[in-house]
Structure 1
Amino acid sequence: MIYIATHKAFNPPELEGYRPLQVGASTHPELDLGYLKDNSGDHISQKNPNFCELTGLYWIWKNTNDPYKGLVHYRRYFGKSNFLHSPSAIYPYDQMLTFLDNCDIVLPYIEYFKQDAREEILISCCTPEIFEKLRQVISNLYPNYLSNFDQFFKNNQSTLFNMLFAKGSLFDSYCEWLFSILFELEKYVDLSKLDPYRSRLYGFLGERLLNVWVLHHHLKIRHLSVVNTESSFRQECVFLRRRITNQIVFKCSSLIKAGKDK
């Protein structure tokens, strides 16, 4: 099953194997969208303002036994092109299954930053103190992941959106790793000191940590385009130009830095 995280009413794609999941349901008990809710069973729905769609990820992990599990968004789906916006461009569930015949996990396309991943997340999503505490938590809990953590954050490539599709056992294994880290980090973070955007901290960190986990396990990845049903062709052209520019800027910066280090 592929679950569609949403916090509002929308028009779900008419595709078998997809189910809407209302995230943050505990924070808005008055809102009943008629979908599955992330505040039943074992859940962390109340953490949604800071964990974003990860409260849905947690719910899927703890409350489903699907042989294959996936998470997408009410406006973002795995599909045929970043430049298409019609629900008809979304890959049906049966086709998503065929992708796993030749890979371990399906992830979104690779995004390129003009800074390395550490500098990028510090710009608006995290603080240096929290980042260093995150690294320390990983060092304490999973020291064999530390080199992968450093490797990822020194580069400028990342998949984003907390979107994935994999066998249920692999999906659950990732969740167990991810939430053990985030719950430990929570003990050291005072969210009241963060602005509203940065307070979505754990959702942002989840996006990056998925890359670290995949890197550590040497997983074979199928990167797919993301169909954004609320975007436009013009907006996607702007995003594409930004990605290309970022690659050039990062490459030039790396060459300059390498020259200075000689």
Structure 2
Amino acid sequence: MRHPQSSSGKSSIQIAVASHRPYRMPEDAMYLPLHVGRALHPDTDFGPNFIGDDTGDNISTLNNYFSELTGLYWIWKNSTADYRGLVHYRRHFATASSRGRFFAKDRFSKIVGESEISQLFQHTDIILPRKRNYVIETVHSHYSHTFNSIQLDETKAILQEQQPEYVPAFNHVMQGKTAHMFNMLVMKDEKLDEYCSWLFPILFELQSRIDPAQYDAFNARYPGRISEMLLDVWINTCGYSYLELPVVNIEPVNWSHKGKAFLDAKFRGKKYTASF
């Protein structure tokens, strides 16, 4: 396991790379390979560089429902770094340098390094991926066309009952066409504490009201999807500023297939049945 390190005058940064299978990892020491959902597969071993999210204070057994969020929970509860975050094994923050991305030898060479992240944290406490733009859909209509909108309705009900000050931002995000997706983020420790302390109780309550076990494996992961939209609800309500980085997909995206599924969902009522 690679622990956060700090030297005099330098803040430590640790970013968990959530993975459910062995995969190439970034070489920069700030990245921590994290086997998510390991409690559900105790006989698997990804090697000495990986740590399981079933160690320490964890919710590893919920991975079938919470997806990469079991990794976010783990880094929140178990890392002592000054800045902590989460990315995916096939999706990372890229360097802001367009030249660096263009001339990169491979996709892993495009991934942002600790030096650049440290520079960004001189100007902000929060780093997020560039917003996704749905163009012809609102965030709410896109979710309704691709998944079950009852999950959004119940999320709003929980906010109305327990934290009504977040409802205006929820409505604003739902009516908008852009959002910070993917559950990718890096934050100063106190900001991550604040966000996770707010997020997870909402998701646990939502899970108790809509049992994920009633769905097939793909749709059972709805708590992880709902959380993607809650990030902007929290950011906007609290009024926190942030900086954005581009996203690099380690494996090429089939945009024609993805675009067709997007249009089929909107115009033909075909729900998503698999990730892209």
Relative to the length of structure 2, the TM-score reads: 0.81
Is 1:73 the counterpart of 2:73? The answer is no
Aligned to 1:32: 45
| 1:141 Cα deviation after fit | 1.8
Describe how 1:106-255 pairs up with structure 2 within 5 A. 106-113=127-134, 114-125=136-147, 127-231=148-252, 235=254
Q: Deviations over 1:117-168 (max 9, x none)?
A: 111112223x232221111111122111111111110111011110001101
Q: Which amino acid aligns with 1:10?
A: Y
Identity of aligned residues (%): 34
Count of residues paired in the alignment: 240
User: Cα deviations across residues 87-106 of structure 1 (Å, max 9, x unaligned)?
Assistant: 11111112112112222311
Q: Which has the higher contact order (CA 8 A, sep 6+)?
A: 1
Larger mean CA deviation between 14-23 and 189-198 belongs to: 189-198
SS at match of 1:187: helix
Does structure 1 conserve the Cα–Cα contact (< 8 Å) formed by 2:212 and 2:221?
Answer: no
SS at match of 1:20: strand
> Structure 1 residue 4: deviation in Å?
0.6
Q: Does 1:14 align with 2:21?
A: no
Distance 2:142 2:217 in 1: 18
Secondary structure in structure 2 of the residue aligned to 1:131:
helix
**Structure 2 runs not aligned, ≥5 long:** 1-13, 267-276
User: 1:2–1:93: 8 Å Cα contact kept in structure 2?
Assistant: no
Distance 1:122 1:101 in 2: 39
Q: Kindly provide the CA deviation profile for residues 212-241 of structure 1, in whole angstroms up to 9, marking residues without a partner as x.
A: 111111121211111111126xx46x69x9
Task: Judge conservation of contact 1:49–1:199 (CA < 8 Å) in 2.
Answer: yes
* Map of 2:121 onto structure 1: 100
| Aligned-partner Cα distance in 2 for 1:168–1:175 | 11
Taking the aligned partners of 1:105 and 1:9, their CA distance within structure 2 comes to 29
Helix, strand or coil: the match of 2:239? coil
- Give the structure-1-normalised TM-score: 0.85
Kindly provide the amino acid, as one letter, of the partner of residue 30 in structure 2: G
Distance 1:124 1:39 in 2: 31
1:172 shift after superposition: 1.4
Per-residue deviation, 1:192: 3.6
Q: Hey, what's the Cα distance between the residues in 2 that align with 1:119 and 1:21?
A: 33
RMSD over equivalenced CA pairs, Å: 2.3
CA distance in 1, matches of 2:238, 2:38: 33
Q: Distance in 1 between matches of 2:18 and 2:242?
A: 22
